[in-house]
Structure 1
Amino acid sequence: MPVDPSDPGPAVGRVLGTADATPLQFWTAVTPGAYLQLDDVVVTRRELPDREPVTIAGVVTQVRARHEGAQFDSDVFAIAEGTLPALVQEAAEITTTRVDPELYVPPAPGAPVHRAEGVARAQALHFDRMERPIPMGTGRDGVPVYLNADFLDGTRGAHVSISGISGVATKTSFATFLLYSVFRSGVLGAESVNSKALIFNVKGEDLLFLDHPNTRLDERTTEAYGKLGLPADAFADVRVYAPPRIGDASGTPDVSSRLTGVDAFYWTLAEFCETGLLPYVFADADDERQQYTMVVHAVTAHLARVAVPAEGGVSIQGKRIGSYGDLVDFLVEQLSDEDTRRDWAGSAVGIGTTNAFARRLISSKKDLSRLIRGDLAQRRPHSINTSESAQVTVVDLHNLPDRAQRFVVGVTLKSEFERKEKAGTAKPLLFVVLDELNKYAPRDGTSPIKEVLLDIAERGRSLGVILIGAQQTASEVERRIVTNSAVRVVGRLDPAEAGRPEYGFLPPAQRQRVLLAKPGTMFVNQPDIPVPLCVEFPFPAWATRVSEAGDAPTGTLRSIVQAADPFAVVGGRGRPGSRISDDDIPF
């Protein structure tokens, strides 16, 4: 739809005649008294004989200013003193985003260039073609910027990759804001009620209060949400899972700040054996390079055949086993005996290989004993199942060691993906938010977790499983996962990382800008728009730390909040709460 020629917006300059103008890029001289900044949207027209005019719209990707009339560097002083005549001239580089109709001719030198506003801006950035735009923040001009839902929910693409320095790039904050916008903007229609989100919390108790309103929310932030067409509120439906405390026979969730609305998650010994979870004990990418992996798979298969559920654990070959430590000791005993090793590991496996397996299995007892239980089978619901949970399920991992975190992530993703496969339909959608993706799906090596994540990246779109992955360095993440992400987001980057080819979609000026990006500023690349857009998203409307959690339960949590912040104001209606991270807050 062409721009209305009667209202193209204010003129800010003319197409430069001293630099080459091409259909895809040109320069404009800025009118004295006017200005253009990076990310401004402009439009110009090219008149053609015997054809309708061509409208060329673009985004400012570079701006420069210079003295015209100066020959030497020192002339700047004489010009400033008024003893040498010269003119200050600014010029802006424009990268074309849309040509309408699609007749690729360069703009004519001297043609007026207008700042695109209203309908002209929406057309220049292809927002008018988006049937379901998702608000993801505002541009540098303070006007909303949108993401095409077709490239998020699997209609034409799926998955989001977010990169940036930890604690500065606000990756988790942007991921949760994007989820909030998806659920509350109405773009999913009736499906928004049934769509789910699975979030793994790895940094402190960062995300345990997503359903608490932020007590620091002010009128300005509320207006920012209103500008995006969103209510300034917390997530409406959240359920939190945490691991049991070490040595606690009752299975109390291991959290310190949120004391209500938290369930403990674990796996029974019977589930561990029947569903073949042993490979996820060896979930490091380096493990798969070792020969003992053949023992892992042989033992997993034999366990599934011989383990029988029993009260308080499992029974194997007539022996009752009631804890993960007992299971490990039993397996090591079987592999150490010449008569039983062949049944468990196969005839082709040597003693050195089984010993390597046994050493690593023994070292897992300390990390996994509280997650794989025989004593809690009938105590309470313990399975992480998003289809039976709230709209947003938060799985807290921050108190777990690295091996246990890998186990939980791998097994949970495996079960959720298998559940979607059995359902055989893409609806309802499941959004998976996973930070530290470079740890779970590194570029080199292989592991059970990496295989599951690759499956999600390559087949998840058709099954309605959408991965929102965050990492400090996209260059260290498996390429197939990054390339399958239709939407790529970049926050503040390290200079060495910004030079990697994974960020080739950023124009040169934006590669420099990501080194300076402030918290809350992201550069978003989506297939609809040829230039990444600079986006500023608003301060979270949900609590980002304990002291910000409004409507907190009365009692113990109140004292915890006031101990952390004596001046905190805490509500008391008894609704469980919301949180992002002290390290990952956007402002």
Structure 2
Amino acid sequence: MSRTALGRVAAPPEHESTSGVFYFWVDRDQSVERTQIVTTKSTVAGREVAFVGIVQEVYRRSRQKDVGEEAARFDGRSAETPPFASEGVTYAEVAILRTDPVAHTPPTEESEVFLGDEVAAAKGYGMDRMGQRFDVGLLRNGGTEFAGRAAIDLDFLLGKNGGHLNVNGIAGLGTKSTLLLSMNWLLLREAKRQREEKQGDPKRLQVVPVIFNVKNFDLFFIDRWNTEYRKEELAHREDWRRMGVDEPRPFDMPRYFAPQAKGLSTPVQTGGRTTDVLPYSWSLADVIEQELFSFLFSEEDVYDPNFGGLVGEMEEYLTSETAAGRKLRKDGPQTFADLLDWFRDERDSLFMDFVKATKGKLLRRLKYIVQEGDGVLVRKEPKGNALKIPSVGQDSPIVIDLYGLHGTPSLQRFVVAAVFHQIQQIQSAKQVANLKYLITLDELNRFAPKDSSDPITQKLETIASEGRSQGIILFGAQQQASLVKPRVIENAAIRAIGRSGTLELGAEVWKFLGPSARSAASQLQPEEKLLYQPSFREPMLAKIPFPPFALSENDADSPPATGGGDQGLPPVSSADLDAF
């Protein structure tokens, strides 16, 4: 780090320093950029206080009073050359990240300001105070330079002091999936490291990544190399190496699940992924055993007192409580087709507390659900292929497709609720210490819309507010957080903002960001994210290394030759990286 001063603190009228912000004028031989880390020291009441801050904005100001005077210097002709050079000044606004020792006071004027380095950046963002530091990217220090690694605290992500990650960004430029999948990849790597270094330790981190695919079948190729990564592999590998990852690679042997095709025992067509995809479906018995019956119905249905009461009574009638848990009663309907026939024929003699119209409504709803869900809800078979979430840590993610149900959003929401419900049941038994379920779900506005209060939305709200204590961590994303249930957004301890629209950034949910951060969020590059956690005074601007794994079929390299993302391609050597 150069010890040449960038400038000196100034506090003239209208630019007074505060305990959170100060200004400094820039030496005419120096250059200052927004997002640079800067440091200064001042003597306050007889003690020296060190300040670390981040440049929020850089301004240039001339000595002329208005544009008229500026034009007059040239006599209104741009080709003219004034006899005297302009005596303008560049100055910068700095948000204070940290003081040492702690002092809620501004630096004094004329204090020298220096460019900060990796040590200063780490101190500014409190990385030395993190319970479990977790590197996720490279920390920007101006337009092209870095001040070391960008890190978050796992205590805030995985439940000790908070929980959950939420990512916002517009389609295409926000690169939400890149960050979500990179976090899964890095946490799998961390869990593996702890397993190797802490053998036999029951408190070592174990993770079960569950990734929902919501667009095309894009996430069905994460075990393949990304062709765009291969094109500039030296540069991308260098970014990963700076982060401490020497061998970035695709995910190792993910398990893929897709909706069962109507009338078949195989999954729906999944684009270019034609093998190793398993089907999922639920029979009536599966729905009753997993307590999912109410999730089959929409909000307006379930919250109608009469209709909701009838749904509850039907579920109770179909359920038999046994020593082994809930079962479908044996002397009643055994399939969805049987349920429709039984209720159509016997409804007049059943559930006498409810009027004929309410029973007719339930019959119509059941008929619609069974017809629309045929395949995922098997009509005539007594058992389906219900998703079984593992109850111990995994070395690879589980990818569950929802796109195959894109014509039936109610079924998509049913699948999400079914997975969350099963995980809650597993975690309530507390069989494995420090087991974390990482649930990755994009398009949260579809599953927990702001104005909804149906059972599925309530399930997501419960996960957001209480899931961290159960080891259930939501990695959620959306294009517009303002359209998602506030509890789901506000309970995310780690917030990441990719490039977002200016209209969205003006919504109430973004009030925690200052004007400079909101301006930056509307101009971010695809690889950049603003990271925020409760211990940060200001968001951290990070570059997320380009992923080695494919994010869609279009950028997926040829199928693995040996499995686990290894295509037999020669790895880049350390010598190559050093030369780069």
SS at match of 1:207: helix
Gaps of 5+ in 1: 1-6, 554-571, 579-587
Match of 1:158 in 2: 163
For 1:321-340, list aligned pairs within 5 A: 321-322=334-335, 324-335=336-347, 337=348, 339-340=349-350
Match of 1:530 in 2: 537
The answer to whether 1:16 aligns with 2:17 is no
SS at match of 1:174: helix
Q: Deviations over 1:463-520 (max 9, x none)?
A: 2111111122222222222222111112222222111121112110221232232322
Contact 1:46-1:107 within 8 A present in 2 as well = yes
Task: Choose from 236, 259, 268 the match for 1:243.
Answer: 259
Residue 120 of structure 1 and its aligned partner are, at CA, apart by 1.9
The answer to whether 1:512 aligns with 2:519 is yes
Structure 1 vs Structure 2 CA RMSD: 2.8
Q: Deviations over 1:145-204 (max 9, x none)?
A: 111111111121111121222333111221111222222256973377731111111101
Match of 1:216 in 2: 228
For 1:148-227, list aligned pairs within 5 A: 148-185=153-190, 189-190=194-195, 194-217=206-229, 218-227=233-242
Letter in 1 for 2:350: T
Match of 1:568 in 2: none
Match of 1:120 in 2: 120
The answer to whether 1:441 aligns with 2:448 is yes
Letter in 1 for 2:260: P
Letter in 2 for 1:296: V
Residues in 2 aligned to 1:318 and 1:148: alpha-carbon distance in whole angstroms: 53
Structure 1 residues 377 and 252, CA gap change in structure 2 (3 angstroms): farther
For 1:6-405, list aligned pairs within 5 A: 9-18=3-12, 19-48=15-44, 50-51=46-47, 53-73=48-68, 75-76=70-71, 78=73, 81-83=81-83, 85-141=85-141, 142=146, 143-185=148-190, 189-190=194-195, 194-217=206-229, 218-230=233-245, 231-248=247-264, 250-282=265-297, 284-291=298-305, 292-305=307-320, 317=331, 321-322=334-335, 324-335=336-347, 337=348, 339-342=349-352, 347=353, 349-373=354-378, 382-387=386-391, 391-400=396-405, 401-405=408-412
Most deviating of 520-529 and 123-132: 123-132
SS at match of 1:242: strand
Residue 398 of structure 1 and its aligned partner are, at CA, apart by 0.4
The answer to whether 1:471 aligns with 2:478 is yes
Residues in 2 aligned to 1:330 and 1:177: alpha-carbon distance in whole angstroms: 50
Letter in 2 for 1:161: N
Q: Deviations over 1:318-342 (max 9, x none)?
A: 66x44x344334334333x2x2242
Residues in 2 aligned to 1:521 and 1:410: alpha-carbon distance in whole angstroms: 32
Q: Deviations over 1:44-67 (max 9, x none)?
A: 10124543x100111111211121
Residue 266 of structure 1 and its aligned partner are, at CA, apart by 1.5
Residues in 2 aligned to 1:297 and 1:468: alpha-carbon distance in whole angstroms: 32
Residues in 2 aligned to 1:12 and 1:378: alpha-carbon distance in whole angstroms: 71
Match of 1:558 in 2: none
Match of 1:407 in 2: 414
Structure 1 residues 17 and 246, CA gap change in structure 2 (3 angstroms): same
Letter in 2 for 1:442: P
Residue 84 of structure 1 and its aligned partner are, at CA, apart by 5.5
Contact 1:43-1:114 within 8 A present in 2 as well = yes
Letter in 2 for 1:67: S
Residues in 1 aligned to 2:3 and 2:400: alpha-carbon distance in whole angstroms: 49
Match of 1:560 in 2: none
Alignment coverage as a number of residue pairs: 537
Q: Deviations over 1:56-102 (max 9, x none)?
A: 11111121112124443451573673246522311111111101101
Contact 2:288-2:319 within 8 A present in 1 as well = yes
Residue 409 of structure 1 and its aligned partner are, at CA, apart by 0.6
Contact 2:318-2:329 within 8 A present in 1 as well = no
Q: Report the TM-score when normalising by structure 1.
A: 0.84
Structure 1 residues 405 and 85, CA gap change in structure 2 (3 angstroms): same
Residues in 2 aligned to 1:330 and 1:168: alpha-carbon distance in whole angstroms: 52
Letter in 2 for 1:431: L
Contact 1:171-1:491 within 8 A present in 2 as well = yes
Residues in 2 aligned to 1:89 and 1:244: alpha-carbon distance in whole angstroms: 67
Contact 1:209-1:577 within 8 A present in 2 as well = no
Residue 551 of structure 1 and its aligned partner are, at CA, apart by 5.7
Residues in 2 aligned to 1:57 and 1:138: alpha-carbon distance in whole angstroms: 18
Residue 406 of structure 1 and its aligned partner are, at CA, apart by 1.0
Q: Report the TM-score when normalising by structure 2.
A: 0.85
Residues in 2 aligned to 1:577 and 1:352: alpha-carbon distance in whole angstroms: 60
Most deviating of 190-199 and 30-39: 190-199
Contact 1:288-1:447 within 8 A present in 2 as well = yes
Contact 1:430-1:464 within 8 A present in 2 as well = yes
Residue 359 of structure 1 and its aligned partner are, at CA, apart by 2.1
Gaps of 5+ in 2: 196-202, 568-580
Residues in 1 aligned to 2:52 and 2:276: alpha-carbon distance in whole angstroms: 51
